[in-house]
Amino acid sequence: MPHSLLLTGRPGVGKTTLIQRVLAGLPGLRLAGFATAEIRDERGRLGFRAAALDGPEIVLAHVEKRSPYRVGKYGVDVAAFERAIVPLLDVRRRDVDLFVVDEIGKMECFAATFVAAVEQLLADPRPFLGTIALRGPAVIATVRGRPDVVLREVTRDNRDALVDEIVAQVRAWLEG
């Protein structure tokens, strides 16, 4: 029986905002995980941050980051991601009702420890809410194709209506 809901869709459609609105509709839950956000200035997008839901934030990728791990013009700081963010996703934690991963994407999948954590989250019986890229490394296609994952495409037309539906789905999973 599925217990994982992953949102997908074009970049900029509002997946992260949708996750934030869903979490606001689930007060009192013990959450663990992270969200991503763009780093911008007057020149445009410079990179991406990954921030724990309850704590530290790192620069995940930046145009000025020198790294062997690259996605387009962005160098990815895999070591910082593995050190500060991946441990939040440990399924051995018993202080968590809902794991949140925003996002399962090309940059994040450079970290083998992250890929292993996602696999463990998918096997764990607790609810898992996240976003996943439309395309990327093989692991993305594998996760997207799992029969135990509910995959919802987010569009500008449906993103507002999905909030209540997802809140109800997560509550149903939590109630067993």
DSSP 89: G
pLDDT, tens digit, 9 for 90 and up, residues 25-43: 999 999 999 999 999 999 9
Q: Averaged over 56-61, what is the pLDDT?
A: 96
CA dihedral 168, 169, 174, 176 (to 10 degrees): 110
Q: How far is CA 133 from the centre of its chain?
A: 9
**79 and 61 in contact (C-beta within 8 Å)?**
no
List C-alpha distances in Å: 16 to 91, 96, 104, 175.
Answer: 22, 20, 12, 25
Which residue from 98, 107, 52 is spatially nearest to 76, judged by alpha carbons? 107
On whether the CB atoms of residues 130 and 170 are closer than 8 A, the answer is no
How many whole angstroms separate alpha carbon 52 and alpha carbon 39?
16
pLDDT digits (tens, 9 = 90+) for 86-144: 999 999 999 999 999 999 999 999 999 999 999 999 999 999 999 999 998 899 999 99
47, 65 in Cβ contact below 8 A?
A: yes
Could you give all domains of the chain from N- to C-terminal order, each with its CATH number?
Answer: 4-37+50-57+88-175 (3.40.50.300)
- Measure Cα distances from 126 to 51, 64, 141, 153, 169 in Å: 22, 38, 22, 22, 13
Q: Is 55 a residue whose pLDDT tops 90?
A: no
41: amino acid identity, one letter? D
26 three-state secondary structure:
coil
The pLDDT value recorded for residue 39 is: 96
pLDDT band for position 15 (cuts 50, 70, 90): very high
